[in-house]
């Protein structure tokens, strides 16, 4: 049995045994840990879909605690010796987080810090009544949130606050989705005012999924699904709801009375395996103990605990311990070789960051191939500093030709592509390969997120329409994956002869995705496989990019005409994610609520995209408005028609700019106005270039000749 060293974090190595079949087995000891004191408040921050402590990922591994009956100390927690015993056992479990349902007293916070536990603090209020019908009740709730947060802020054990938990679906439907959502948003602002550095969320559940709580620091969801297939499918759904934020499963558990203790352990194993395999940032197992007190009574007919009321361990304790003491992301059953191909042309601004990030990938079996496509700046010299890179230099032939050179040089079973202006998350390949292994798909992609910008203009460009993004047909299947974050099985690329060389700068990813689907292949999406993609840093660069996309759309049109609308724009069958243009559409979402509004999974059905939804931003609309305006000046008839058309375009741009998620540092009237201008100019510049290249391509077409009339 050989030993392979797998890089888990930047300065950390863990050993795994490799058997003859390539299966990796964890050799880490699962011995109990000694208490770890949180002497100082180590800040946990949110970066993309994960939590971080400094530059290391921090996965929440938690259990819920309580509620309990009031102890002799006057608080709804067990007696202090019992709490200390519980915390010591949680440290042995490998837990680092504790979810509580009432505000913690100081002694509990101090004790949690002693054992290295961070608290996810739920602040209770009267959410089972029609709270929005009374201004006095609303004021009381706001005060409750402010008081609860102030009681815990700045304590090293305070991780985050929950400003609500499962507002009942009938209450939400009584008040209306918009009013309840607005009130939860208001409560979050109250919490932030009380502790600006604290993280804040709301614990939602499937019955009110349609609330669309997208303004919190991370997404919390309570999910009780016992079938692994259903659970994994719903996790994909939740990742798409979370977008570019961490997903925390804030409650899931199994009743050992009805299911049995062995089945409880088995189901929890499936849930934990699925959660971490698919990129959840944290899990909270419900619950620590069978002891549970709510509504003024001790609950006797449910037993969700990992330990019973007397603190005797159940089989589920050992199961959870195996996952909570193992490395994350979980070890894969095998590690097929991956060839990472980076095509670079005059990329000296970002090349060093890109290659430095690829050097730190936590994947044991990969190579990096850089195709220097005739760069005239310092790209070549920067690449030569990294001795782990296989460098291929050629004269400038365009992006697709360079990608094909990378494919020809690749020795891996999987070929992954990223761009020279991207930085890969350390676990990028792990999550991509995990999706390949679990699905057998031909291709898999992931999201590309914009890193924090240092100035206003790049921050505005980053949230403007037209950025590279993914298009999903369902929560798990993609119609399009961005070229900066896509991976393919090498034999599939060879089967379709790689990329089309006519796409020199853009359009190659759209073309290859549609060609794969035309061949009957499906494309998967892994939301945790992140790359950070630097956007254009000037308005000129942004408009140049849009011109390039316009040219690419014209070229792709001649190969896939059935996938374009009447105006020559791509007609996506799926939903565009991560692009502001996806918000610019008509039609209110429809909530499927089940019989009498009691559906267990009350799903939000989004209206499908249509030409009308973005027509006021098109070149054709604005040309028509201009013609009508000139006609009105000449004839004096109906000047209001052109004015109304221009006003509609203006309103569309302002509405989009108000929805743009601009970095808080740069929010203001100037930033919103700039985004509005980019929303207006981007599609027009793109359309002009699209028409220019379509006309140019049509002139090359030879007319059909007939022997007879």
337-390 pLDDT tens trace: 999 999 999 999 999 999 999 999 999 999 999 999 999 999 999 999 999 999
* Domain boundary residue, one of 551, 566, 599: 551
Same domain, 61 and 94: yes
Same domain, 110 and 171: yes
Same domain, 181 and 276: yes
Same domain, 278 and 366: no
**Statement: residue 700 has pLDDT above 90:** no
User: Residue 56 — φ and ψ, nearest 5°?
Assistant: -110, 140
Q: How many domains does the chain have?
A: 3
Same domain, 95 and 194: yes
pLDDT tens-digit readout, 111-155:
999 999 999 999 999 999 999 999 999 999 999 999 999 999 989
pLDDT tens-digit readout, 669-681:
999 999 999 999 9
The residue assigned the tokens 């700019």 is 657
* Domain boundary residue, one of 324, 346, 370: 324
Residue 596 lies in a domain: no
pLDDT confidence bin for 5, thresholds 50/70/90? very low
Both structure tokens of 188:
């979050």
Residue 416 lies in a domain: yes
For 42-176, where are the alpha helices, taking DSSP H only?
80-93, 106-114, 135-152, 169-175
For the domain that residue 508 is a member of, what is the CATH number?
3.90.550.10
Residue 639 lies in a domain: yes
Higher-confidence residue of 404 and 169: namely 404
The residue assigned the tokens 């990028």 is 428
Give the residue-averaged pLDDT of 489-504.
94
Residue 380 lies in a domain: yes
Same domain, 376 and 499: yes
SS3 390: strand
Give the residue-averaged pLDDT of 429-455.
92
pLDDT confidence bin for 40, thresholds 50/70/90? low
In angstroms, the CA 624 to CA 632 distance is 12
pLDDT given for residue 68 in this prediction: 92
Same domain, 620 and 651: yes
Residue 485 lies in a domain: yes
Both structure tokens of 106:
């100081």
Same domain, 137 and 255: yes
CA dihedral sign of residues 265, 270, 274, 277:
positive
pLDDT confidence bin for 23, thresholds 50/70/90? very low
Same domain, 354 and 217: no
Residue 121 lies in a domain: yes
pLDDT given for residue 443 in this prediction: 97
Both structure tokens of 675:
């985004």
pLDDT tens-digit readout, 606-645:
555 556 667 888 888 889 988 988 888 888 777 888 889 9
Same domain, 354 and 295: no
Radius of gyration of the chain (CA): 28
Per-residue CA distances from 44 to 60, 63, 115, 159, 255 (Å): 11, 18, 17, 8, 32
* Domain boundary residue, one of 505, 523, 551: 551
pLDDT above 70: percentage of residues in the chain: 88
User: Residue 226 contacts by C-beta under 8 Å, 6 or more apart in sequence?
Assistant: 254, 259, 267
Per DSSP (E only), the strands in 260-332 are 282-285, 293-294, 297-298
Residue 595 lies in a domain: no
In angstroms, the CA 527 to CA 475 distance is 10
In angstroms, the CA 634 to CA 651 distance is 27
Q: Are 129 and 104 in contact (CB under 8 A)?
A: no
Within a 10 A sphere around the Cβ of 474, how many other Cβ atoms? 14
SS3 511: helix
CA dihedral sign of residues 545, 551, 554, 555:
negative
pLDDT given for residue 703 in this prediction: 66
pLDDT confidence bin for 701, thresholds 50/70/90? low
Higher-confidence residue of 40 and 105: namely 105
Give the structural domain span for 129. 32-324
pLDDT given for residue 603 in this prediction: 59
User: Residue 368 — φ and ψ, nearest 5°?
Assistant: -120, 125
Both structure tokens of 48:
């993309």
Both structure tokens of 277:
């395999």
Question: Per-residue b/e over 684-709, b at no fewer than 16 CB within 10 Å?
Answer: bbbbebbbebbeeeeeeeeeeeeeee
pLDDT confidence bin for 25, thresholds 50/70/90? very low
pLDDT given for residue 399 in this prediction: 95
pLDDT given for residue 386 in this prediction: 96
**Statement: residue 593 has pLDDT above 70:** no
Residue 569 lies in a domain: no
Same domain, 202 and 314: yes
pLDDT given for residue 509 in this prediction: 93
For the domain that residue 45 is a member of, what is the CATH number?
3.20.20.80
Same domain, 351 and 292: no
In angstroms, the CA 511 to CA 522 distance is 14
User: Residue 663 contacts by C-beta under 8 Å, 6 or more apart in sequence?
Assistant: 452, 453, 459
Q: Are 200 and 217 in contact (CB under 8 A)?
A: yes
Q: Three-state SS across 314-369?
A: CHHHHHHHHHHCCCCCCCCCCCCCEEEEEEECCCCCCHHHHHHHHHCCCCCCEEEE
Within a 10 A sphere around the Cβ of 375, how many other Cβ atoms? 20
pLDDT given for residue 612 in this prediction: 67
Within a 10 A sphere around the Cβ of 259, how many other Cβ atoms? 15
pLDDT tens-digit readout, 209-258:
888 898 999 999 999 999 999 999 999 999 999 999 999 999 999 999 99
The residue assigned the tokens 């290659």 is 355
Q: Are 419 and 468 in contact (CB under 8 A)?
A: no
User: Residue 557 contacts by C-beta under 8 Å, 6 or more apart in sequence?
Assistant: 564, 568, 694
Within a 10 A sphere around the Cβ of 294, how many other Cβ atoms? 12
pLDDT given for residue 608 in this prediction: 55
pLDDT given for residue 632 in this prediction: 84
């Amino acid at each position: 049995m050989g030993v392979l060293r797998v890089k888990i974090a930047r300065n950390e190595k863990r050993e795994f045994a490799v058997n003859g079949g390539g299966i990796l087995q964890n050799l880490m000891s699962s011995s109990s840990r000694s208490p770890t004191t949180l002497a100082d408040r180590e800040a946990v921050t949110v970066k993309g879909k994960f939590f971080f402590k400094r530059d290391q990922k921090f996965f929440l591994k938690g259990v819920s605690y309580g509620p309990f009956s009031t102890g002799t100390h006057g608080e709804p927690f067990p007696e202090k010796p019992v709490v200390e015993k519980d915390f010591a056992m949680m440290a042995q479990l490998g837990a680092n987080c504790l979810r509580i349902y009432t505000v913690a007293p100081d002694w509990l916070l101090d004790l949690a810090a002693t054992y290295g536990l961070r608290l996810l603090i739920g602040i209770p209020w009267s959410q089972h009544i029609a709270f929005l019908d009374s201004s006095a009740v609303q004021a009381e709730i706001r005060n409750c949130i402010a008081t609860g947060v102030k009681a815990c802020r700045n304590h090293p054990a305070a991780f985050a606050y929950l400003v609500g938990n499962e507002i009942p679906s009938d209450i939400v439907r009584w008040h209306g989705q918009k009013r309840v959502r607005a009130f939860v948003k208001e409560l979050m602002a109250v919490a932030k005012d009380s502790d600006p550095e604290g993280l804040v969320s709301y614990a939602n559940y499937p019955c009110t999924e349609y609330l669309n709580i997208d303004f919190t620091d991370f997404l919390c969801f309570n999910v009780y699904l016992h079938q692994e297939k259903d659970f994994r499918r719903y996790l994909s759904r939740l990742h798409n709801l979370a977008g570019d934020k961490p997903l925390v499963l804030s409650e899931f558990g199994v009743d050992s009375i009805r299911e049995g203790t062995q089945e409880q352990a088995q189901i929890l194993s499936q849930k934990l395996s699925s959660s971490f395999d698919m990129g959840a940032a944290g899990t909270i197992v419900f619950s620590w103990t069978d002891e549970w007190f709510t509504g003024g009574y001790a609950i006797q007919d449910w037993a969700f605990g990992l330990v019973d009321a007397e603190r005797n361990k159940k089989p589920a304790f050992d199961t959870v311990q195996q996952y909570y003491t193992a490395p994350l992301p979980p070890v894969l059953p095998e590690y097929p070789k991956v060839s990472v191909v980076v095509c670079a042309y005059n990329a000296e601004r970002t090349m060093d960051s890109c290659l430095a990030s690829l050097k730190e990938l936590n994947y044991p079996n990969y190579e990096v191939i850089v195709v220097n496509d005739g760069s005239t700046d310092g790209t070549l010299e920067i690449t030569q500093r990294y001795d782990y890179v296989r460098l291929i230099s050629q004269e400038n032939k365009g992006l697709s030709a360079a990608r094909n050179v990378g494919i020809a040089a690749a020795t891996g079973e999987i070929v992954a592509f990223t761009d020279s202006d991207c930085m890969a998350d350390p676990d990028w390949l792990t999550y991509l390969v995990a999706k390949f292994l679990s699905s057998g798909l031909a291709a898999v992609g992931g999201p590309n997120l914009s890193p924090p910008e240092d100035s206003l203009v790049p921050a505005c460009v980053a949230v403007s329409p037209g950025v590279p993004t993914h298009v999903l047909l369902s929560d798990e299947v993609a119609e399009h994956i961005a070229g900066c974050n896509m991976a393919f099985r090498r034999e599939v690329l060879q089967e379709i002869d790689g990329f089309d060389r006519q796409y020199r700068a853009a359009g190659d990813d759209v073309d290859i995705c549609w060609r794969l689907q035309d061949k009957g292949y499906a494309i998967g999406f892994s939301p945790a496989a992140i790359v950070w993609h630097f956007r254009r840093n000037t308005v000129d660069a942004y408009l140049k990019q849009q011109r390039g996309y316009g040219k690419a759309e014209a070229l792709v049109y001649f190969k896939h005409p059935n996938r374009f609308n009447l105006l020559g724009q791509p007609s996506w069958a799926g939903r565009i994610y991560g692009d502001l243009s996806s918000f610019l559409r008509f039609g209110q979402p429809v909530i499927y609520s089940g019989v009498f509004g009691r559906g267990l999974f009350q799903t939000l059905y989004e209206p499908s995209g249509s030409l009308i939804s973005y027509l006021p931003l098109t070149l054709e609309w604005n040309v028509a408005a201009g013609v009508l305006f000139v006609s009105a000046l000449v004839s004096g008839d109906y000047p209001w028609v052109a004015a109304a058309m221009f006003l509609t375009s203006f309103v569309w741009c302002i509405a989009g700019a108000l929805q743009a998620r601009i970095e808080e540092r740069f929010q203001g009237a100037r930033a919103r106005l700039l985004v509005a201008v980019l929303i207006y100019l981007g599609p027009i510049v793109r359309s002009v270039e699209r028409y220019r290249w379509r006309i140019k391509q049509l002139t090359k077409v030879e007319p059909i000749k007939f022997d007879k009339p």
